[in-house]
Amino acid sequence: MARTKQKRLSKVKELPNVFSSRGPDVKRAIWNYFKSNRPLVFEIGCGHGDYSIELAQIFPDRNFIGVDVKGARIFNGALKAINQNLGNVAFLIAKAENLIEIFQKKSIQEIFIPFPDPHVRRASHSKRLISPGLLKIYKELIVESGSVHFKTDNQGLYEYALKTITDFGGEIIHFSEHLYETTGVVFPSNVITMFEKHYIKNGRRIKYICFKF
């Protein structure tokens, strides 16, 4: 397993649709890849990039970037996007807190955060992708009318997110403790990841929050 991971990490850097926050002039490199100024959408903590790939198919008039700190996770999604000739989706190896150093303020149309690591230990709460520090960055990056979509199967993280967003001053548009049994609340495009299918099969409730700043 370790050898496979190392192999993916090495090969992922060779793919034309994968960029690194440590790369030279990464912002210019990404825009040169897209070759357009279409609205930009992030999937943060993208893993295999399920949302980025499916949304890129549904919305060809938008550019999608899957962001994850671990390049080995990105490999399969990036390769899938290439095989499907999806020129409007790219992947970025970066920490979420580094995004403000790469992209201009008010330049992101929408943000998706599907099933992030809950970081259960209290000492690790600052690492959560919905922490106050990252909410500040998302607010700076996203356009005034833009929305953030957050999904989790973890009750503690869901409750933390609701409180943190509210305390930060965010405007919660929709929220549900059981997304697929709540009338009137639909997650955009209804993309269901590989992990989500597994969660649903095991009887876990999918929680969803849509909010703005």
Q: Which domains are seen in the chain, by residue range?
A: 2-212 (3.40.50.150)
Mean pLDDT of the chain: 90
More confident residue, 24 or 155: 155
Q: How far apart are CA 82 and CA 152, in angstroms?
A: 28
Percentage of the chain beyond pLDDT 90 is 69
H or E element: which one contains 15?
none
Q: How far apart are CA 86 and CA 51, in angstroms?
A: 13
Let me know how long the chain is.
213
Cβ 65 vs Cβ 96: under 8 Å: no
Q: Which of 65-69, 99-103, 166-170, 201-205 has the lowest mean pLDDT?
A: 201-205
Q: Which of 34-43, 131-140, 175-184 has the highest mean pLDDT?
A: 131-140
The DSSP 8-state label assigned to residue 171 in this structure reads: E
pLDDT of res. 23: 84
pLDDT of res. 159: 97
pLDDT of res. 180: 82
pLDDT of res. 68: 96
Q: Which of 40-49, 57-66, 140-149, 188-197 has the lowest mean pLDDT?
A: 188-197
- Catalytically active residues are 117
Q: How far apart are CA 197 and CA 45, in angstroms?
A: 18
pLDDT surpassing 80 at residue 107: yes
pLDDT of res. 124: 78
How much is the average pLDDT of 83-101?
Answer: 96
